[in-house]
């Protein structure tokens, strides 16, 4: 397949994988900020979700609103799918190079 055709095929394949994100979601339990919260006084904690990701080699965490959790979970899954596809493309590139070389491999 010509290079331009491969590029178009790849772009068509990943076009449906939006939104996309790289990171992870973790459900945690934390106390709230209200001083007289009945649940916190009973030592119960409030559920929350955090998004953990790396940027410039450093790990970051952000709280995620409950309404955004399903969309972000789908975005992370889409990102993982794209990552798997990129790995497969890299492997295919190596195999194509090996098939195309004219000199035998060194012992």
Tokens of 102: 């004219």
Tell me if 25 is assigned to some domain.
Answer: yes
Residue 59 in contact with residue 82, Cβ under 8 Å? no
Tell me if 56 is assigned to some domain.
Answer: yes
Tell me if 92 is assigned to some domain.
Answer: yes
Tell me if 63 is assigned to some domain.
Answer: yes
Residue 71 is predicted with a pLDDT of: 96
List, for residues 34-76, the tens digit of each pLDDT value: 888 888 888 888 889 999 999 999 999 999 999 999 999 999 9
Q: pLDDT grade, residue 26 (50/70/90)?
A: very high
Q: Mean pLDDT in the chain?
A: 88
Tell me which residue range forms the domain holding 74.
16-99
Spell out the residues 6+ positions from residue 62 whose beta carbon is closer than 8 angstroms to its own.
50, 51, 53
The rounded percent of the chain whose pLDDT value lies above 70 is: 93
Spell out the residues 6+ positions from residue 105 whose beta carbon is closer than 8 angstroms to its own.
98
Q: What separation in angstroms does the CA of 89 have from each of 6, 37, 69?
A: 10, 53, 30
Tell me how many domains the chain contains.
1
Tokens of 28: 């945690």
Put the strands of the sheet holding 24-30 in their side by side order.
24-30, 46-55, 58-64
Cα 84 to the chain's mean position, in Å?
10
Q: Indicate the pTM of the whole model.
A: 0.76
């Amino acid at each position: 397949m010509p290079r331009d055709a491969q590029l178009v095929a790849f772009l068509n394949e990943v076009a449906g994988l939006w939104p996309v994100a790289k990171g992870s979601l973790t459900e945690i339990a934390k106390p709230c900020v209200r001083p007289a919260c009945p649940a916190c006084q009973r030592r119960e904690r409030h559920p929350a979700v955090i998004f953990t990701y790396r940027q410039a080699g450093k790990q970051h965490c952000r709280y995620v609103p409950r309404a955004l959790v399903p969309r972000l979970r789908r975005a992370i899954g889409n990102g993982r799918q794209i990552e798997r596809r990129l790995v497969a493309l890299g492997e295919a590139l190596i195999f194509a190079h090996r098939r195309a070389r004219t000199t035998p491999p060194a012992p």
